[in-house]
Structures are given as structure tokens and as C-alpha cells.
Amino acid sequence: MILAENRVPFGPIFVPENDFDKYNSQVWFIATQLRYYLARITTAPFQIKVDTNQGENGLYIELDKSYLDDEFSINTMGNSVYIRGGKRGVIYGGYELLEMLGCRFFTPHCEKIPTLTKLEIGDIQKREKPVFEFRDTDYGDIQKYSKFASMCRNNGRWSGMPEMLGGSIRYALGAHSFARLVPHEQYRDTHPEYFSFYNGRRQSIKDDHWQLCLTNPDILDIVVDNARKILKENPDKKILSISQNDNPYSCQCENCLKSDADEGSPAGTLIKFVNRVAEILEPEFPDVMFDILAYHYTRPASRKTQTRHNVCVRLCASSTCFAHPYDKCDDRTRAVKHPNGKTSLFIEDLIDWSKVCERLYVWDYTSNFPLYPMPFPNWRVLQPNLKTLAKYNVKGVFEEANCARNGGVDFNELRTYLISKLMWNPDCDIERHRKEFMQYYYGDAAPHLEEYLNMLCDFVERENYHLYIQDTKRPPYLDDAHLEQYNRIFDKAEAAVAGDGVRLMRVQKARLSIRFADVFWNEVLAGNYNAEKINQFFTDLRAHNISRLDEWTNIERTYRAWMDGMERGVLYTAPFRYDAESLL
């Protein structure tokens, strides 16, 4: 079928009357996107018209309530094309058609759009839905550009999509919500017994061990009342997390210990509690899910109590090696065990949780959080790990990343693109996606950068080096001899795109990882302080709009800390506290 030839479109883009020119209509949004991109391909003046059931040739777009929110179909019939879908799916369907026509949406600022005088398509009969119902990542481009998040088919909290884009699945309370649900200042003087017992006394919010005492009967009423209030104030948010503070110490009072022992894990005590909250609030909030974290002391699954149908669990893959796939790593020295030669501790948790929870989400990690720019050679585990999650029937994935709002180095753009493709379909042809991205985004530098990335991955595989998300020791693949090799590769990569300003800038941005390793370990930690090298590094970070070198603070604080002989600026702030200045 010819869609356009010599600037003549095959027909209009038809939308139902109630979507026509409506700001919040997803159908109208994708119709305008198709008009824009089809014109970019062909320069043909496509028009959007109301569908009056005349059966004319054209591109028909329609919301279909019988589809899942993220599901879509594209069908050709006669001389027309039909896109149908749920509130987000109908938009994905439009972008899918454009991708089938050769468009690629690599980053918010890098799109590959073919130009043709004759645009043709063959017969299309496809219907798609995602493997994971919840797909979230906090890479800067996803946070900042919700249209791009929609192109990447992210639908979680960080995509921040407005109604026009079908909205996101948002948390009314995200994680570590005990302090919001039982305000410490309100009860600390009158009811110290509401808070966890540890080291011989009830804990206060200033203690590192502070949690709630979930077996205290009053706590249930307080949490129900506050959860109700929060859900009423946030009618658009459909998940509320009831999860412990970010420390590994559960309540050690007699009742809690008895419950933990009975359940085989403190997770069971938490599930029993959250099940009650979910049961009480279900009649008022039938479409809300209540979430718990399987993290630190709640990571091992309950052996007894199952989660209710409106309770979901987020299992955190912390303390897991990311150099090797979940089910292949043999590290015995860290948190990852290999007890039977076949499975890691995380796989055991995954299996155990899938037995007691119908709706299991996983909180996965893709970066080194104290050293954001450090090369993190996890490229070859991305697909196997997401395939593993799908195999164990996981329903949602959050891929926690370098969450600096302005993005980061270490190929964050490629990571965003590939991880999004894998969250939609873990069985996708990831090699094709990777090659397409590299060849277009880095141009003639691509083969050199591929060589660099392969060297990193080959090293961790060959040497069986394990990779964790909080390591600050210098990895052997970043010793001086390796840095020298990488620098030679980057010299070639820069030379290959010397006449291509945009791609040269991208290569130089990727090179900041190598420069970071050199400045951090050879200058700052070694006490050398080559002023020219350090200043040039920070000048270039600012030029590339890089705002953070770690999870917790901005580059100016890092600079200050380095000058003061410290490893990072986070030492200036209390742990787990964020201040406005650091949220750049």
C-alpha cells in the first residue's frame, strides 16, 4: 500500500469526533504526532479529520476500552490502516507504525527519520502487549521528557506522563514510607511503644535502627487513617507503599520476634500487617495496590502468609553481582551465594517470593551509585536478567539508574534505549537495537566504542570479576594499563568523527568515564591533585551538563569535597537526606 507519493497522502488521519482537537485525548496526540512524522518523511500534507464512517481510505486511530492500557494493534485492510489500543497503547501503536516505516527515536534529541518521495507499507496484522505491566527507569531523559518516555513505552512513576500521554502508574507513597504513615513527632513522647525495640530500648527517628513495631495493635488504625487520607488527596495515584525505613534492623520486641519466627522471615510480619490495611481499604479504593518492599530484613520471603490480591511486593536485587547474569554468577564471597551450582541467592528469593505473591515487581539496578561515571560493564546481563524476571512471572520492573536529572555518562543514552526495549519485550532482538543506536548516534566512531565496551565486558567475564552497585574500590579493569588502552581507543573514536561536531561531542561525553577514573584514583585519592587536569575535568562536566558524580550530591559539592581531601560531597550531608541544591 502506498501511504504517500510525490507529496500526495493516501488519505487523511481519521479520529473519532470526541477526540478531535481535544487537548487531553491520547488519540488526538498520536494523530498529531503521525501527521508531523509522516510529513517529515514525505513532506506530504497529511490532514486530521473526524471519522464520519464514510469508509474512505485513510489512517484510522481509535481508543479501544477492551484493550489493556498498554496494548495496541495495527492492521491494514483494503486501502486503510487501523491503529487501536488502550490509553497508552494507542500511542505506542502510532510510534510502532513509524518505527516500521524506518523511524528511530534514540534519544529526545536524536531521531532517525527517513526521507522518501514514495512511502509504502506491506500487509500488517499485529497486536502487542508488554511482558511487564509496570516499566520504570529513572534515567534523566525519561524523567525530563515525558513524550520520549512514551516513545520508550515506560509507564512508571519516573515517566511523569500527563493524561494526554495516557498517564503514568504513580505511587502515592514511594518507598520507606513508615515515617509518613506514623509521624514520629506526633507519637514519640506519648507512645514510644509504637516504634521498634532494638538494643534494649524503643528507637527514635534519630536512631539508625528506627522502624515501626507492627505487632502493636494501635499501629494498624493509625496507618489505615493516614493511608486513607493520602489516597483521597491523590486520586490519580494507584499504588501506596507501606514499607520500612532504609535500614536493616527490624523490631526485636517479643511479639514481633515471635511473629517473624512463625513466618520464617520479618517479611511475613509485614505482609500480615499490610494485608489487613489492604483488606480494610479495598472497599473504598478498589483499584489501589498496596506495596511492600522485599529489602534488607524483609528480602527473604515469608514461608507462610501469602499476599492479598491487592498487595504487591517489590523485590530488590541489591547485593547482587551485575557482571554476570542472576542465574550464572558464582560469587561466594559476597551476598551472592551459589549453593547448588545452579542458582544465586537472588534467584532463590525470586522463587520463594513467586510462591507467596501473585503480583511481584522487581527493583533492579544498572549503575554504580557512589561512582556514577565509572564504566559499569553490565551490558551482557541486561537481557538475560530481564528474561529471568519474565520466567518467574514478575509483573513489574524498576531499573534504577543514574537518576541525575541532566543524565550521566557511561553511555546512559544507549542504556535508556536498550533497557526500555527489554522492559517491553525481554526477547527482543537487542543486538539489532544496540547496533542501530551505536551506528547512528556515534557514526564512524561506533566500531571503536564497541571495541571499548567489549573489552570491559570481556574482562569481567574472563577474570570472573564481580560487579556491585556500591563498590568504590578501583576495579582491575580500570588500572593504569587498561586506562591507557581505552584512551588509545577513544583517540581513534574522536579522530573518526573529527569532522562531525555533534558526534564528536557524544564521543567526548562517553570519554568522561575514563577521565573520571583517572582523576578520581590517580589524582584525588592518590593525593596528587594536578590542578590543570582536575579543573579541565570539571569544566568539561559542566559543558556536558553533567550535574552529579554520585547519587547524593551535585558536582560542585564533589569538587569542594575533593579539595578538602574527601572522597565525595555526600559527606557534607546526612545519609539518605536530599537537599534542594543537590536535586539538579
Footprint on residues 367-386 left by Zn ion (CB under 5 A) = none
CA 414 to chain centre: 13
Closest CA to 327 of 313, 315, 340, 314: 340
Question: Is the four-CA dihedral 448, 451, 457, 460 of positive or negative sign?
Answer: negative
> Exposed (0-12), middle (13-18) or buried (19+): which is 528, by Cβ within 10 Å?
exposed
The H-or-E segment that residue 397 falls in is: strand 396-400
Q: Which residues contact 302 (CB under 8 A, 6 or more apart)?
A: 263, 264, 265, 267, 268, 271, 356
Bridge partners for 18 per DSSP = none
Q: Min. distance of Cβ 255 from Zn ion in angstroms?
A: 6
Q: Which residues contact 555 (CB under 8 A, 6 or more apart)?
A: 538, 541, 542, 546, 547, 548, 549
Instruction: Select 38 or 329, whichever has its Cβ closest to Zn ion.
Output: 329
Q: Min. distance of Cβ 464 from Zn ion in angstroms?
A: 7
Kindly tell me which residue out of 96, 141, 260, 331 binds Zn ion, with binding defined by CB under 5 A: 331
Q: Min. distance of Cβ 344 from Zn ion in angstroms?
A: 8
Please check whether residue 540 is in contact with residue 508, taking contact to mean a CB–CB distance below 8 angstroms: yes
Instruction: Select 346 or 417, whichever has its Cβ closest to Zn ion.
Output: 346
Q: Min. distance of Cβ 354 from Zn ion in angstroms?
A: 23
Closest CA to 370 of 474, 274, 452: 474
Instruction: Select 211 or 416, whichever has its Cβ closest to Zn ion.
Output: 211
Instruction: Select 40 or 184, whichever has its Cβ closest to Zn ion.
Output: 184
Please check whether residue 195 is in contact with residue 204, taking contact to mean a CB–CB distance below 8 angstroms: yes
User: Rg of the chain over CA atoms, in angstroms?
Assistant: 26
Q: Min. distance of Cβ 347 from Zn ion in angstroms?
A: 13
CA gap 144, 160 in Å, rounded:
8
Reading the block at residue 145, the C-alpha cell is 521528557
Q: Min. distance of Cβ 325 from Zn ion in angstroms?
A: 9
Question: Is the four-CA dihedral 65, 95, 152, 15 of positive or negative sign?
Answer: negative
Instruction: Select 75 or 255, whichever has its Cβ closest to Zn ion.
Output: 255
Footprint on residues 251-290 left by Zn ion (CB under 5 A) = 251, 253, 256
Instruction: Select 31 or 251, whichever has its Cβ closest to Zn ion.
Output: 251
Instruction: Select 194 or 441, whichever has its Cβ closest to Zn ion.
Output: 194
Q: Min. distance of Cβ 386 from Zn ion in angstroms?
A: 17
3-state SS, one letter per residue, for 347-392: HHHHHHHHHHCCCEEEEEECCCCCCCCCCCCCHHHHHHHHHHHHHC
Reading the block at residue 306, the C-alpha cell is 501469602
- How many binding residues for Zn ion (CB under 5 A)? 10
Per-residue binder mask for Zn ion (CB under 5 A), 210-249, x = binder: ---x------------------------------------
87 binds Zn ion (CB under 5 A): no
Instruction: Select 171 or 468, whichever has its Cβ closest to Zn ion.
Output: 468
Number of other residues whose CB lies within 10 A of the CB of residue 480:
12
Footprint on residues 15-74 left by Zn ion (CB under 5 A) = none
Per-residue binder mask for Zn ion (CB under 5 A), 298-327, x = binder: -----------------------x-xx---
Q: Min. distance of Cβ 246 from Zn ion in angstroms?
A: 19
Instruction: Select 138 or 331, whichever has its Cβ closest to Zn ion.
Output: 331
Closest CA to 448 of 493, 501, 502, 496: 493
3-state DSSP assignment of residue 447: helix
Q: Min. distance of Cβ 232 from Zn ion in angstroms?
A: 29
CA gap 350, 465 in Å, rounded:
24
| DSSP designation for 150 | H
Q: Min. distance of Cβ 291 from Zn ion in angstroms?
A: 21
Closest CA to 375 of 265, 489, 293: 489
Q: Output the DSSP codes for 92-117.
A: HHHHHHHHHTT-EEEETTEEE----S
3-state DSSP assignment of residue 417: helix
Per-residue binder mask for Zn ion (CB under 5 A), 521-560, x = binder: ----------------------------------------
Candidates 63-71, 118-126, 142-150, 207-215; binding stretch for Zn ion (CB under 5 A): 207-215
329 binds Zn ion (CB under 5 A): yes
Q: Min. distance of Cβ 168 from Zn ion in angstroms?
A: 33
What is the separation, in whole angstroms, between the first and last Cα of the chain?
Answer: 49
Q: Min. distance of Cβ 476 from Zn ion in angstroms?
A: 14
3-state SS, one letter per residue, for 68-90: CCCCEEEEEECCEEEEEECCCHH
Per-residue binder mask for Zn ion (CB under 5 A), 459-478, x = binder: -------x------------
Instruction: Select 52 or 333, whichever has its Cβ closest to Zn ion.
Output: 333
CA gap 168, 88 in Å, rounded:
9
Q: Min. distance of Cβ 432 from Zn ion in angstroms?
A: 27
Instruction: Select 311 or 329, whichever has its Cβ closest to Zn ion.
Output: 329
Q: Min. distance of Cβ 456 from Zn ion in angstroms?
A: 14
Candidates 43-51, 208-216, 275-283, 501-509; binding stretch for Zn ion (CB under 5 A): 208-216
Instruction: Select 237 or 338, whichever has its Cβ closest to Zn ion.
Output: 338
CA gap 464, 323 in Å, rounded:
8
Instruction: Select 314 or 466, whichever has its Cβ closest to Zn ion.
Output: 466
Instruction: Select 71 or 364, whichever has its Cβ closest to Zn ion.
Output: 364
List residues binding Zn ion (CB under 5 A): 213, 251, 253, 256, 321, 323-324, 329, 331, 466
